[in-house]
């Protein structure tokens, strides 16, 4: 691979004698990773259940390496949201940001959702996650990953940081900034990225990073933390971005990050940060900094969303009576024809570009409720009365994922939750032993 001269000089200055070892790492095999979705399955259970061999990623409890040649995305468990494919170094920001149950978390550069799905798993259904990306197109991919993972406490939106800061002053306990960057750490994995590298790109990214950091500062509660990460080596986008931010914000301090597993300290004097290099670890390049806000409490005046009344909920109540077990309560809201169940403390979002608020249960049309794919993915098998639970070896599993009608003599008439080994895949509607397929059109197995 031909590297630009300015880049070579930058890396030599950073690495000194280690530069040769870094170059040699380009010859090594590419590494592949996946992360168990602990909202649905434990890492140990997943490793036992899948037929491909997994070995643990040392810095992420739910992370595994899998071998080249395996195709984990072509597996019913992938469609059941049991794991997310993620490069092993990219698991560090989501693993190292201190998340407490009940936290209000912002993932401001979230698409396509690698870290968002990890943050949601760590919240374990508690608190609130706002997953945002400035690109409306990329936010659509983010929404699919949120839904397939069965995340019920996220709001997916697409807004610039300035707009968010106007609405969410002092609102968040934790913010993840997985910043847009020049991507130098991905050159080994994606050699094409070398072609778009130039020094102007670094300057452009640095400006974006400064803007995002600045707006995030005001959205954080006092005592709250920002995890800033990039997948680049450029000091300008890493320690220099953080130093400028600290110079402008004396209320922030750096919190030291763990330096195990071959991770190295950030460039002097910001040694609290960590750098990941491909010649030091089994993964690609990354940079992480953890910042904490100190000082006077930050006022928050973000209004919360109100619930709709029981009258409007009647069609859903009828569906729940016929189809679901348990009691369904909380803050319900209707957006367009979508009925959503919101996480506690969800903010009012009128005027913001929101793709999804909380758990989309289904649509309300002409007084009828129709359950959604996202509803199925967030349910547990026990929460539904009528279930068609197929084993992985049942040939009907793939046929269901392809959108076919199934023979289902074991299912009762009515709405049916279709599962593989007890994990929901989607809905069907059974009549006299035949299951009409309601799997989401855009999600079909190809
Ligand atoms: C490194 S990628 C994020 C990857 C993502 N966190 C994941 O783990 O899947 C950076 C993202 O930032 C988004 N972005 C770029 N500028 C932004 C801005 N000013 N505000 C919010 N998002 C931005 C890009 O569209 C891109 O999706």
Q: Is 389 a known ligand-binding residue?
A: no
The CATH class, in words, for 5-293 is: alpha beta
Task: Report the nearest-CA residue for atom 16 of ligand 1.
Answer: 180
Task: Report the nearest-CA residue for atom 6 of ligand 1.
Answer: 110
Token representation of residue 314: 């009647």
The atom of ligand 1 lying closest to the CA of 180 is: 10
Domain boundaries, the chain: 5-293, 385-446
445, 402 contact by CB (below 8 A): yes
339, 365 contact by CB (below 8 A): no
Q: What is the pLDDT of residue 306?
A: 94
72, 52 contact by CB (below 8 A): yes
82, 46 contact by CB (below 8 A): yes
| Cis, bond preceding 112 (omega within 30 deg of 0) | yes
Q: Which of 104, 230, 254, 99 is nearest to 177 (CA)?
A: 230
Pocket of ligand 1 (CB under 6 A): 108-115, 133-135, 138, 160-161, 178, 180, 208, 212
Q: Is 205 a known ligand-binding residue?
A: no
Kindly give the distance from the C-alpha atom of residue 277 to the centroid of ligand 1, in angstroms, as a whole number.
22
Kindly give the distance from the C-alpha atom of residue 44 to the centroid of ligand 1, in angstroms, as a whole number.
31
Q: What is the pLDDT of residue 255?
A: 98
Q: Write down the ipTM of this complex.
A: 0.99
Q: Taking the CB of residue 301, how many other CB atoms lie within 10 A of it? A: 8
* Choice from 133, 136, 211, 227 to test ligand 1 binding pocket (greatest atom count within 8 A of CB): 133
Q: Taking the CB of residue 121, how many other CB atoms lie within 10 A of it? A: 22
pLDDT tens track of the chain, all 446 residues? 789 999 999 999 999 999 999 999 999 988 999 999 999 999 999 999 999 999 999 999 999 999 999 999 999 999 999 999 999 999 999 999 999 999 999 999 999 999 999 999 999 999 999 999 999 999 999 999 999 999 999 999 999 999 999 999 999 999 999 999 999 999 988 888 999 999 999 999 999 999 999 999 999 999 999 999 999 999 999 999 999 999 999 999 999 999 999 999 999 999 999 999 999 999 999 999 999 999 988 889 899 999 999 999 999 999 999 999 988 999 999 999 999 999 999 999 999 999 999 999 999 999 999 999 999 999 999 999 999 999 999 999 999 999 999 999 999 999 999 999 999 999 999 999 999 999 999 999 99
Token representation of residue 375: 């509803």
Element (DSSP H or E) covering residue 395: none
Q: Is 114 a known ligand-binding residue?
A: yes
The residues, any chain, with a CB within 8 Å of residue 195's CB and separated by 6 or more, are none
Establish whether domains 5-293 and 385-446 are of one fold.
no
Kindly give the distance from the C-alpha atom of residue 308 to the centroid of ligand 1, in angstroms, as a whole number.
33
Q: Which of 291, 225, 237 is nearest to 267 (CA)?
A: 237
The residues, any chain, with a CB within 8 Å of residue 350's CB and separated by 6 or more, are none
The atom of ligand 1 lying closest to the CA of 112 is: 9
φ, ψ dihedrals at 365, nearest 5°:
-135, 130
Q: Is 394 a known ligand-binding residue?
A: no
Name the pTM for this structure. 0.97
Q: Is 110 a known ligand-binding residue?
A: yes
Taking CA 341 as the corner, what is the angle to CA 337 and CA 346, rounded to the nearest 5 degrees? Answer: 110
CATH match for 385-446 among 1.10.10.10, 2.30.130.60, 1.10.490.10, 2.20.25.160: 2.30.130.60
Kindly give the distance from the C-alpha atom of residue 107 to the centroid of ligand 1, in angstroms, as a whole number.
9
Kindly give the distance from the C-alpha atom of residue 132 to the centroid of ligand 1, in angstroms, as a whole number.
8
Q: What is the pLDDT of residue 151?
A: 98
Task: Report the nearest-CA residue for atom 11 of ligand 1.
Answer: 109
- The SS3 call for residue 276 is strand
Is 216 tagged catalytic? no
Q: What is the pLDDT of residue 2?
A: 87
Q: Is 169 a known ligand-binding residue?
A: no
Distance of CA 414 to the CA centre of its chain: 33
Which one of the listed residues 181, 205, 231, 419 is annotated catalytic?
231
Distance of CA 183 to the CA centre of its chain: 19
Kindly give the distance from the C-alpha atom of residue 443 to the centroid of ligand 1, in angstroms, as a whole number.
23
259-268 long-range contacts (CB < 8 A, ≥24 apart) are: 260/58, 260/59, 261/58, 261/59, 263/59, 266/238, 266/239, 266/242, 267/14, 267/235, 267/238, 267/239
Cβ burial 26-41 (10 Å sphere, 16+ → b, else e)? eeeeebbbbbbbbbbb
Identify the residue whose tokens are 């929101």.
Answer: 354
The atom of ligand 1 lying closest to the CA of 135 is: 25
The atom of ligand 1 lying closest to the CA of 230 is: 1
Q: What is the pLDDT of residue 1?
A: 77
């Amino acid at each position: 691979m031909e590297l630009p001269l300015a880049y070579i000089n930058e890396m030599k200055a950073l690495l000194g004698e280690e530069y040769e070892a870094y170059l040699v790492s380009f010859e090594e095999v590419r590494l592949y990773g996946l992360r168990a979705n602990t909202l649905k399955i434990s890492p140990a259970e997943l490793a036992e259940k899948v037929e491909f061999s997994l070995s643990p990623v040392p810095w992420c409890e739910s992370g595994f390496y899998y071998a080249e040649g395996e195709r984990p995305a072509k597996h019913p468990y992938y469609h059941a949201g049991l794991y997310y494919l993620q490069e092993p170094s990219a698991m560090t920001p989501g693993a190292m940001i201190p998340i407490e149950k009940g936290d209000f978390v912002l993932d401001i550069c979230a698409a396509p959702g690698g870290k968002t799905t990890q943050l949601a798993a760590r919240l374990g259904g508690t608190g609130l996650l706002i997953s945002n990306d400035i690109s409306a197109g990329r936010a659509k991919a983010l929404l699919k990953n949120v839904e397939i993972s069965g995340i019920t406490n996220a709001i997916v939106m697409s807004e610039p940081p300035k707009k968010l800061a106007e609405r969410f002053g002092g609102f968040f306990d934790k913010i993840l900034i997985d910043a847009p960057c020049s991507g130098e750490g991905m050159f080994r994995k994606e050699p094409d990225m070398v072609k778009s590298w130039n020094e102007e790109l670094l300057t452009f990214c640095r400006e974006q990073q400064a803007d995002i950091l600045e707006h995030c500062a005001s959205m954080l509660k006092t005592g709250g933390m920002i995890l800033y990460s990039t997948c680049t080596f450029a000091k300008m986008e890493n320690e220099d971005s953080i130093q400028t931010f600290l110079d402008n914000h004396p209320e922030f301090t750096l919190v030291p990050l763990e330096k195990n597993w071959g991770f190295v300290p950030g460039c002097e004097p910001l040694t609290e940060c960590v750098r990941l290099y491909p010649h030091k670890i089994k993964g690609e390049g990354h940079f992480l900094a953890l910042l904490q806000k100190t000082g006077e409490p930050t006022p928050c005046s973000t209004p919360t969303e109100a619930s709709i009344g029981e009258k409007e909920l009647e069609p859903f109540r009828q569906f729940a009576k016929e189809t679901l077990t348990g009691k369904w309560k909380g803050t319900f809201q209707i957006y367009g024809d979508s009925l959503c169940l919101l996480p506690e403390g969800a903010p009012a979002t009128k005027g913001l570009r929101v793709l999804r608020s909380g758990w989309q249960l289904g649509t309300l049309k002409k007084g009828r409720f129709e359950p959604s794919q996202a509803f199925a993915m967030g349910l547990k098998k026990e929460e539904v009365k009528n279930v068609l639970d197929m084993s992985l070896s049942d040939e009907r599993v793939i046929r269901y994922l392809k959108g076919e009608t199934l023979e289902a003599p074991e299912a009762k008439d009515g709405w049916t939750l279709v599962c593989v080994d007890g994990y929901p895949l989607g809905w069907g509607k059974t009549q006299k032993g035949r299951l009409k397929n309601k799997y989401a059109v855009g999600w079909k197995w190809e």
